[in-house]
Amino acid sequence: MKFAPGKSGNPRGRPRSTGQAAKLRRAIESDLPEILAAMVAAARGGDVAAAKLLLDRALPALKPVDTPIVLDLGEGLTTAASAILAAVGGGSITPDQGAKVLAALGSAARATEVDELAARIDALEQREHQ
């Protein structure tokens, strides 16, 4: 049987908890307390892999949080880049923040170049058509 275009053969989708992960969860559900106790005991006994697994699940890695920064970038791209590098060197912004601001400055420089090239091309075309 062929389904009409745009019509699902299973409009409600696959039922929840029917995949392989759900089957595994159900299979070990009754043994979970013992499994966890064994993992904790192994970690306490010096098993680094067990400790890492437990810690990764219980305490996920912290993600860096950017804070807003205010920089006086002055006039021109070179002055702005120097101000960013001075801020990183002076410790007022992190190296990661400096890299992000420098990347944004590079993108702005490329956009400016494209605008300037487009203006030059338009000027050349205007002169040619006169």
pLDDT (tens digit, 9 = 90+) per residue, 54-109?
998 888 888 877 778 888 888 888 888 999 999 999 998 889 889 999 999 999 99
Alpha helices (H) in 45-130, listed in sequence order: 48-58, 77-90, 95-128
Q: What is the Cα 42 distance to its own chain's centre? A: 34
For the chain, domain boundaries: 20-58, 77-128
pTM: 0.47
Residues 71-85 pLDDT 10s: 888 888 888 899 999
The DSSP output letter for 30 is G
Cβ proximity of 55 and 62 under 8 Å: no
| Residue (of 38, 67, 73) closest to 53 by Cα position | 38
